[in-house]
Amino acid sequence: MSNVILITGAATGIGNLAARSLAAAGHTVYASMRDVAGRNAGHAEDLLGHALREGLDLRVVELDVTSDPSAEAAVRTVIGEAGRLDTVVHNAGHLNVGYVEAFTPEDVQHLFDINAIGIQRVNRAVLPHMRERRSGTLLYVGSTTSVVVPPFLGPYVASKFAADALAQVTAYEVGQFGIETTIVMPGPFTQGTDHFRNASRATDQERSRAYAHLDPMVARNEEATAALFTPGVDAHPRAVAEEITRILALPRGARPFRTVVDFTEAGVEEVNELARRAQERFITRMGFGELLRVRGGRD
């Protein structure tokens, strides 16, 4: 069944690849990004040109996840044009690299605004529509960093922890309105995204200099990450886009709550399974076991 899908952060990387993959699978896809007429004009034109050449229903919409009015306007545009919105793919995100102490509170606040609070903005814009229809899917692009906790990415890891928790607790509630949740957890990728290249640094340079003896480790962080991949494996983020497309092709009720796309063999799946069992036991003992199941919705 064809869905109307909104993807955040679709200018580059996983979001861009997912937009192409989902549109090729027959969905109506709204690839959202900031500043469509400015800094991302080239990315928008490239997507629209691809859609025209391939005969795909792939559109571009302005959406800045750090702005309430922008999120609300984007959702209004999608519903106004397509008549409904079935799925949101929460993909927008940014990476910070550096020593935790050297990130000012403002640095951390800004990253949380993109990686976690941005999800809340978009959900608040779309959930009234989904609740009214008693149907929909929230698909979050999370991260294995919230399990393996790598060094030198402190604010990023914390923001992904927060986003994951927000997704889980939201799922309890919206599931009672027939809205499904899936969290896709990509491992690290050193090709096919601008994550490392566009990463921000801590702004307090004096505090950063206090950790100078660790600078060689930070300098080889990307190299160390790449060394985790099994030789010969094509560790490309297109695998995440393909997994998102596979999940959204599954029938209602058959989609996993979590799935991992990781080429580093970090053991995240085992941790997820242990956490799931403990969580289910705890919620059931509280007498809230029904929140672990998505209600039938309108189907």
**211 — phi, psi (to 5°)?**
-105, 20
Identify the CA nearest to 181 among candidates 281, 290, 255: 255
Q: What is the pLDDT of residue 222?
A: 82
The per-residue pLDDT for 299 is: 43
User: How far apart are the C-alpha atoms of 14 and 241, rounded to whole Å?
Assistant: 6
User: Which member of 30, 140, 156, 211 is catalytic?
Assistant: 156
Q: Report the pLDDT value the prediction gives residue 191, as an integer from 0 to 100.
A: 74
Alpha-carbon separation of residue 293 from 175, 177, 178, 289 (angstroms)? 7, 11, 9, 8
Contact 224, 150 (CB under 8 A): no
Superfamily per CATH, domain 4-292: NAD(P)-binding Rossmann-like Domain (3.40.50.720)
Calculate what percentage of the chain has a pLDDT beyond 70: 97
Question: Do the beta carbons of residue 63 and residue 36 sit within 8 Å?
Answer: no
Sign of CA dihedral 62, 67, 72, 73: negative
Backbone angles phi, psi at 231, to 5 degrees: -55, 135
In the structure, what pLDDT confidence band is assigned to residue 132 with cuts at 50, 70 and 90?
A: very high
CB burial class (10 A; 0-12, 13-18, 19+) of residue 286?
Answer: exposed
Please say whether the beta carbons of 84 and 136 come within 8 A: no
Query: Is there a catalytic annotation at residue 140?
Result: no
pLDDT of residue 231: 84
CA distance 140 to 89: 6
For residue 216 the two structure tokens come to 């060689």
Q: For residues 275 and 198, which has the higher predicted lDDT (pLDDT)?
A: 275
* Tokens 């899936």 sit on residue: 182
pLDDT in tens, 138-180: 999 999 999 999 999 999 999 999 999 999 999 999 999 999 9
Q: Which residue has the higher pLDDT, 225 or 54?
A: 54
- pLDDT range class, residue 230, cuts 50, 70, 90: confident
Please write the tens of the pLDDT for every residue from 11-43. Answer: 999 999 999 999 999 999 999 999 999 999 999
The CB-side HSE value for 250 (13 A sphere, CA atoms) comes to 15
What does DSSP say about strands 258-261 and 179-186: parallel, antiparallel, or unpaired?
parallel
Tell me: pLDDT of 271 over 70.
Answer: yes
pTM: 0.95
Establish how many alpha carbons lie within 13 A of residue 255's alpha carbon, considering only the half-sphere containing its beta carbon.
Answer: 24
Give yes or no for a contact between 27 and 82, defined as CB atoms under 8 angstroms apart.
no
Residue-level pLDDT at 193: 66
Please report which helix (H) or strand (E) contains residue 29, including its range. strand 28-33
